[in-house]
Amino acid sequence: MRVSAYCYTNQGGRDHNEDSLRCLAEEGVFVLADGLGGHGKGEAASALAVETIAAGCVEGARDQEGLLSLFQTANEAILAAQALPGQEEMKTTAVALVITGDQAVWAHSGDSRLYRYADGALCHATRDHSVTYMKYLGGEIGYLDINHDDDRSSLLRALGKRECRPETGQAPLAAGDAFLLCSDGFWEYIYKEEILADLLKAETPRQWAEGMLLRHIRRAPPGNDNFSLITVFVEEER
C-alpha cells in the first residue's frame, strides 16, 4: 500500500509556536506534539518529544511496546532538560502514528488527538487525558461540549511529568483508510462530522487539510492558540 501525507502548523494568535511535527510518509512515521510552558520552553519540550519518538520509530520501534518505550524515553529526556534554568515547568502532549505493512499503531499522552477513518466511518481513536474528557466519559457533559468546556486545558497526563502513562492502540490497515493527527488548537474549532465531510470530498491529504483549515480560519478568535495537523491517506499501490 502507498502512504501519502500533508502537514501544517501555525502559531495562530500567539507570539510563537510551541507545536512540533514530524511527517515521514516514506517511513510511515508521523508525530505531533503541543508544548506547554510558555516563553518558548514548550517549544523545546515538543521538539525534543517528536525528535526522540520519530527517530526511534525510524530505527525500528514500530509496535505498541516500542512506542510505549519511546514515549518513556522522551519523557526522561524532557525531565532531564527541566534542570536547565527557565525550563523547570516545560511539558508537552504527544501523539504518534506508525504504519507498517497492513498494520497501524499509535500512542498518545495528553489531548493531541488521532482520528481514524476505516470501513466508511470516522472514529476518535485516542481519548484525551484531560479533566474535560473525564467529565464526558462520566456523563457530566456531551461529546460536543468537549470543545468548549472550561476544563479542557486541564491535562491529567503529559510528557514532562514524573509518572508517564501514555496509551497505545492498533488496528489492521486497508486501502482507503485515513488518519488525522492534530493539536487541541485545531480540534476545538472543528467537529467530527466536519472532519468526515471534508475527507469524503478530498482526493489528497492536502485537500482534506485545506478544507478543514478553511473552517478553522473562519471560527478561530483573535489570540487563538497554535494549531497543527497531519493528514494521512492509505491507498493501493499504483
Whether residue 5 has pLDDT greater than 70:
yes
DSSP-derived secondary structure letter, 155: B
Q: How far apart are CA 182 and CA 186, in angstroms?
A: 6
pTM of the model: 0.96
Taking all residues of the chain, what is their mean pLDDT, rounded to a whole number?
94
Whether residue 39 has pLDDT greater than 90:
no
Query: Residue 60 — very low, low, confident or very high, per pLDDT cuts 50/70/90?
Result: confident
| Residue 107: per-residue pLDDT | 97
For the chain, give every domain's residue range: 2-120+157-235
Residues 115-156: pLDDT tens digits?
999 999 999 889 999 999 999 999 999 988 898 888 888 999
What is the mean pLDDT of the segment spanning 169-193? Answer: 96
Q: Which long-range contacts (CB under 8 A, 24 or more apart) does 82-88 make?
A: 82/160, 86/39, 86/41, 87/37, 87/41, 87/44, 87/45
* CATH for the stretch 2-120+157-235: 3.60.40.10
Whether residue 38 has pLDDT greater than 70:
no
Query: Residue 54 — very low, low, confident or very high, per pLDDT cuts 50/70/90?
Result: very high
Whether residue 190 has pLDDT greater than 90:
yes
| Residue 236: per-residue pLDDT | 87
C-alpha cell at 216: 478553522
